[in-house]
Structure 1
């Protein structure tokens, strides 16, 4: 069974212009029926919803603001408001997943205490997720290259919070690029946390280019994903190294179709 790919239109199809609506059209013209984005703040959500409907494309994920310092309990009320807005926009866009990050950590508080505080914050958004029918997917991102200082730097950080909250509305976004850059073994992570994974994202490493331009063995990695039992969509979140996004994604698209 092949893997379907979704494409992040913040990074890809930039050749179509600045408007995400035009990038949605370009993705559809290239044969992609799933897309992802970051923030909806400051964007015309109804216009995006119309573009998705017009071109038969589904939005797979968008972000709640990941910069909120969730270790700090004073931010939890604001976080709930931010999550609700993102979740309401997700509903408008027909998007099932809202990505949640931890925000930065601090060196003066024990890690276990910080994660416990994050778990309290995430537990507080469960009623919103249930009300609106979306899933909060928690993502760990690397601190070595892209996100210095973030609290969720290892997959186990997000998993610890998910296990503490114990809700089917709180699941794991496993990003192979971030995991590899942090020095994790994807085979171990996929085997250990398969039951919690709601969505998977990929890019090559080093460099975060499209799969096929870095050092990773993509036939082997797709095999690991398949062996884990994951059958969902795989999100490509990379910086294309070619001017044409379809050309840049040709290798991984062919590989995923044959997986």
Structure 2
């Protein structure tokens, strides 16, 4: 049986049934029993209202994201602009009490070998790590799949994000392992995760195929949570999915039972 663990919910994709504003979604997530939440970038959000809802409910904002729409870290001329985005996002994270800032690579280029591109990205992240260190924030490097959701992205496999983290060699830079992206990209979590768990500071999940809530696809979730226990991952698990039913609270009931072990006990 998997050990009970905290779940974090992405408020961009979920609890949209509570309204368009993130503050309402925080309250809905808290009412559904979640104590952590995640959002994308911060620069276009009402941070005062969000902070108020977090304080009111006791929900902890767990991750925010450096806006990937302008990020292409394989191009050195983008690095200064990227660092400006990192500074702004880290400042917002500190304001909101959020310990993690997620970084993606942006698209690859066809005219440089892959190790060269990873090396250039590593240079940018190493500079960003100094900003994170000053603010007591951890940067999370995420690999996302190219087969379905992010065609052309550089960091598409777990080994890519691991290479960046090892290249920077800072406790302020760690891996975000997204099990959904890993599976869609053709990886086997039972093989990959034990090899990299020492670098993993956060795990995200959704079901596959379809990126719906856990239980809507083909992934064996009791086995997946048991794997997290087996490899010694004790942190939160972030759910980043598109609910397949109108009520997010209803959609996430199954994974809440799996996360507490009650689904296994009942089967």
Q: Say whether the fold is shared (TM-score over 0.5).
A: yes
Equivalent in the alignment of 1:127: 130
Residue by residue over 1:132-175, the C-alpha shift from the partner in whole angstroms, topping out at 9 and shown as x without a partner, is 11000000000000000000010100100111100000000000
Q: Work out which of the residue numbers 149, 168, 171 in structure 2 matches 1:168.
A: 171
Count of residues paired in the alignment: 259
Query: Could you list the per-position Cα deviations for residues 215-246 of structure 1 after superposition, in whole angstroms to 9, with x for gaps in the alignment?
Result: 11111111111111001100000000111111
The answer for the alignment partner of 2:35 in structure 1 is 33
Q: Distance in 1 between matches of 2:233 and 2:18?
A: 32
CA distance in 2, matches of 1:21, 1:45: 9
Q: Which residue of 1 aligns with 2:213?
A: 210
Q: Within 5 Å, which residues of 2 pair with 1:1-259? A: 1-67=3-69, 68-258=71-261
Cα separation, 1, equivalents of 2:215 and 2:45: 33
Q: Equivalent residue of 1:219, what SS?
A: helix
Q: TM-score, normalized by length of structure 2?
A: 0.96
Give the secondary structure class of the aligned counterpart of 1:151. Answer: coil
RMSD between superposed Cα atoms in Å: 0.8
Residue aligned with 1:102, SS? coil
1:184-207 deviation per Cα after TM superposition (whole angstroms, max 9, x unaligned): 010111100010000000000000
- Are 1:87 and 1:129, in contact at CA under 8 Å, matched by a contact in 2? yes
Return the alpha-carbon distance in structure 2 between the equivalents of residues 219 and 42 of structure 1: 37
Q: Does the 8 Å contact 1:36/1:62 carry over to 2?
A: yes
1:171 match: secondary structure: strand
**In structure 2, distance between residues paired with 1:119 and 1:102:** 10
Aligned counterparts of 1:165 and 1:6: Cα–Cα separation in 2: 27
Task: Write the distance in 1 (CA, Å) between the matches of 2:129 and 2:40.
Answer: 21
Tell me the secondary structure at the aligned position of residue 137 of structure 1: strand
- What is the alpha-carbon distance in structure 2 between the residues aligned to residue 21 and residue 136 of structure 1? 24
- How far apart are 1:178 and its partner, in Å? 0.2
Structure 1 moving runs of 4+ over 6 Å = none
Q: Distance in 1 between matches of 2:49 and 2:85?
A: 21
Instruction: Name which of structure 1's ranges 18-27 and 46-55 shifts more when overlaid on structure 2.
Output: 46-55
Helix, strand or coil for the counterpart of 1:82? helix
* 3-state SS of paired residue (2:90): helix
Check whether the contact 1:104–1:149 (CA below 8 A) recurs between aligned residues.
Answer: yes
Structure 1 Cα separation of the partners of residues 252 and 227 of structure 2: 20
Separation in 2, partners of 1:250, 1:46: 30
Q: Is the 8 A contact 1:46 1:92 kept in 2?
A: no
The residue matched to 2:68 in structure 1 has which SS?
A: coil
